Structure 1
């Protein structure tokens, strides 16, 4: 497999070159994951129901209330006394969806 076909990330390593410092742009987590700031909310995942999908207790779900719902989305909805995360296609028709999960933030090392 050649290097063009390998998945990965862009990482700068080695001794920094002072002449190129102004060409490196920093990542802004807000710009990367929050597309609609006025309709975006954060919720912390509790429990192990989503472990098999790589979503673990303590992870942060970013909920965007402005996104149009797709049947494959994870959504947040209010049930009695708390928010629940579920797959949109598994909900009863009359469920009031609070927002769409747009991003999950998972700490690699707590």
Structure 2
């Protein structure tokens, strides 16, 4: 016989935010003591460290799937974070906007995909190249796109 479980509603608060639960989700049986709410969840407070320097960018393409970034995901990008070796960056290369992992060694720079179907792109001195910001978070939907 199935037992009906009442879950706290995830309805919006007057501030327009969803409810945040105080407990973590375990891959086992939930504890009945974990049915408490921790208040409103503000994704800006959770994901944005420097609001004036942060922007959101929708991703198109599959070159970064190995990093958990898929087409139609939304990246949280912080322009105040210094890009360093292995950072996932939003960059402009010869006028084209791209999301790749930054590779820097011995004065050489390359943009590395996280998908073996794509090749790294070495950035030479002859090319226009600018890092717009460092990706700090990704918002990824678990629903299939239609």
TM-score (norm 1): 0.72
2:130 is aligned to: 96
The CA RMSD over aligned residues, in Å, is 2.7
1:35-93 alpha-carbon deviations (Å, 9 max, x no partner)? 11101111111011112322110000111000122212101111334311111113437
Would you identify which runs of 4 or more consecutive aligned residues in structure 1 move more than 4 Å?
A: 11-14
Number of aligned positions between the proteins:
98
1:87 aligns with 2:86: no
- Summarize the Cα distance change of 1:93–1:64 in structure 2 as closer, same or farther, 3 Å threshold: farther
Structure 2 equivalent of residue 58 of structure 1:
72
Counterpart of 1:37 (choices 41, 48, 51) is 51
Structure with greater helix share of residues: 1
Determine the C-alpha separation between the residues in 2 that align with 1:39 and 1:88. Answer: 20
Stretch deviating more after TM superposition (81-90 or 29-38): 81-90
Structure 2 CA distance for aligned equivalents of residues 93 and 32 of structure 1: 37
The two structures have a TM-score, normalised by structure 2, of 0.56
* Gap change, CA 1:81 and 1:96, over 3 Å in 2: closer
Partners of 2:133 and 2:124 in 1: CA distance: 15
**Higher RCO, Cα 8 Å, sep 6+:** 1
Task: Tell me, in whole angstroms, the C-alpha distance in 2 between the residues paired with 1:13 and 1:64.
Answer: 37
Alignment equivalent of 1:77, drawn from 75, 88, 91: 91
Show structure 2 runs of 5+ residues with no match: 1-22, 104-109, 112-122
Q: Which structure has the greater CA radius of gyration?
A: 2
In terms of fraction of residues, the more strand-rich structure is: 2
Answering whether residue 121 of structure 2 is matched by residue 107 of structure 1, we say no
Which secondary structure state, in structure 2, belongs to the residue aligned with residue 96 of structure 1?
Answer: strand
Structure 1 gaps of 5+ residues are 1-8
